[in-house]
Chain A
């Protein structure tokens, strides 16, 4: 069953040896030249499970990988039962929202501490399970980097996702996320990243501004 038709891959909910699994298939994109398309799809199919594994080392809940199939650019992984943070963030109480954002901030902090940037930190890629654990999914655009720049871009995306989809609570959510993030990575590192986010926001505006 097709769960999500994304820009990058299609997610199917399937059964595989009695397990409920997600099949992540990076289908060829007709708009891209096939040589470019193949290179991108294979690279991402190999890369994603590697990073997912490293995220576990950092203490960030991520799906278990069952199979990596390069020929079809297909990854079979654990299906995380739960709700997307995107679907619930606007509707839960403030206490719950604060708690959820607090935990999200910790997870992002752990990733960054471990040299991983997620690359697509939107609230659709965070899943709250029925037993109350937050999983990060979709590491398709993630990379290994310790650069402040990459971390800034990562959190800038999170900020933008909050502002566009959860504009009512964007400010409070972001403050909580940054506070717990700071607890994990340390005050100094967090401040560097905050400064970088501001710098990124000033960039890319208009030719004359640079």
Chain B
């Protein structure tokens, strides 16, 4: 794995801005893929989930400071930056627009090209960079996405995905309903994981797999009903919810692995930090002779480095985004992205 490294001389640098949801993050990479900085400021709502406008306000407030901190950590001057990359979608409109505005301003000021990057593609590309995976089947699980994807003929293709809510969303909403309180920097999913470890009784919950697709909304409702019912220990409900959701994810991932026969299984996104999910996936990767690659947390959560790196890959293949075409794309699907840089 490549950790944060010091700069080598006479190199070109890319600065990437990530702002699709609750994180504002700036990454700086050399064109060779050395990660010089990856600075993130996370928006913490006082109550409830992410309100897009509040998150965007947070991003606008911390943008200058985060940019400055990233440049300082990377040890480079603004004029040494050769290109600016930004997350163009998919994501929350106000959040994306804040990041895009900062990126456009920087690119104009520095007179360097701008490259719009797909957030989901970026998760896969940084995962490949830091784990050394070459052609993985990717399971990307977070608060906003649940996607099983692999590369086929110049595009990442989606083999399976959620038909309703993301798995992280399911766990977060449940945790909030259960009254779990997070500390700063602690994801709600981690609280569910902790409580699950103390669970013993598996309570029956709907197991909803449709081919390689999944559905979590009925499961969430059923789990919340168990809570309201009051006859069950919270630990047991967490345990059951976690076991069922992760078994479902593992089953569809195994199906996609059997179908695509990819040599590696890449796990990324915030939910990927869960140890139980990791161990389940490791089991099936072994069974199908695929190398299991869990992306380290720093690069599995939303981060600027992944945007910068994907920007570099696109830019080196002659792709860039003129400012007049740099509008954000809220629903930009992974499989709409032309990715000529993969596969040589």
Q: A31-B250, A167-B153 are in contact. Are A207 and B166 (CB under 8 A)?
A: yes
- Total interface residues on B, using CB and 8 Å? 55
A47 within 8 A of B: no
| Residues in A neighbouring B281, C-beta threshold 8 A | 31
Pairwise interchain contact A141-B21, C-beta atoms closer than 8 A? no
Report A-chain residues with C-beta under 8 Å of the C-beta of B287: 5
Q: List 8 A-B contacts (CB under 8 A).
A: A36-B243, A121-B211, A141-B209, A141-B211, A153-B163, A157-B212, A206-B330, A208-B330
Q: Flag if A120 contacts B165 (CB, 8 Å).
A: no
Q: Which of B172-228 contact A (CB under 8 A)?
A: 202, 204, 207, 209-213
B159 touches A35 (CB 8 A): no
Q: Which of A7, A35, A163, A206 contacts B331 (CB 8 A)?
A: A206
Residues of A within 8 A of B18 (CB): none
Contacts of B146 in A (CB 8 A): 204
Given contacts A7-B255, A164-B157, A204-B161, contact A33 B243 (CB under 8 A): yes
Q: How far is the CA of A209 from the CA of B21 in the complex (A)?
A: 13
Q: Is the CB of B152 within 8 A of A167?
A: yes
Could you tell me the distance between the alpha carbons of A124 and B209 in the complex, rounded to whole angstroms? 18
Question: Which residues of chain A from 1 to 57 have a CB within 8 Å of any chain B CB?
Answer: 4-8, 29-33, 35-36, 39-40
A36 touching B163 in the complex, CB below 8 Å, given contacts A8-B255, A207-B21, A208-B91: no
Bound together, the chains give a CA A4 to CA B251 distance in angstroms of 16
**A204 contacts B162, CB within 8 Å?**
yes
| Contact of B164 with A by CB under 8 A | yes
Known: A31-B250, A36-B207, A204-B166. 17 other contacts (CB 8 A): A4-B258, A7-B254, A30-B283, A31-B284, A32-B280, A33-B247, A119-B211, A120-B211, A122-B211, A122-B259, A163-B335, A164-B157, A207-B21, A207-B50, A207-B143, A207-B166, A208-B93
User: Which residues of B (236-288) have their CB < 8 Å from a CB of A?
Assistant: 243-244, 247, 250-252, 254-259, 279-281, 283-284, 287-288
CB closest residue in chain A, given B207: A40
Does B169 make an interface contact (CB < 8 A)? yes
Most buried by B among A5, A6, A207: A207
Given that A153-B213, A208-B52 are known contacts, is A203 also in contact with B92, CB under 8 Å in the complex? no
- Say yes or no: is B333 at the interface (Cβ < 8 Å to chain A): yes
Least distance between B205 CB and chain A CB atoms (Å): 9
- Chain B residues in 8 Å Cβ range of A39: 204
- B157's partner among A6, A121, A153, A163 (CB-CB below 8 A) is A163
CA distance in complex: A73, B246 (Å): 22
7 closest A-B pairs by beta carbon, nearest first, are A7-B255, A7-B254, A31-B280, A120-B211, A157-B211, A208-B92, A164-B157
Give B contacts to A, CB under 8 Å.
Answer: 21, 49-50, 52, 90-93, 143-146, 152-153, 157-159, 161-166, 169, 202, 204, 207, 209-213, 243-244, 247, 250-252, 254-259, 279-281, 283-284, 287-288, 330-331, 333, 335
Indicate if A200 sits at the interface (CB-CB under 8 A): yes
Among residues 138 to 172 in chain A, which have CB atoms less than 8 Å away from a CB atom of chain B?
141, 153-154, 156-157, 160-161, 163-164, 167
* Given A36-B244, A204-B164, A206-B331: A160 in contact with B92 (beta carbons within 8 A): no
Query: How far does the Cβ of A182 sit from chain B's closest Cβ, in whole Å?
Result: 22
A205 touches B210 (CB 8 A): no
In the complex with contacts A7-B254, A31-B280, A207-B158 CB distance below 8 A: no
For the complex, what is the distance from the CA of A154 to the CA of B213, rounded to whole Å? 10
Choose among B159, B169, B254 the residue that contacts A207 (Cβ–Cβ < 8 A). Answer: B169
Cα-based distance from A1 to B233 in the complex (angstroms)? 47
A62 to chain B, nearest CB (A): 18
Q: Is the CB of A119 within 8 A of B210?
A: yes
Complex Cα gap A16–B244 (Å): 36
Contact of A206 among B144, B159, B212, B335 (CB under 8 A): B144
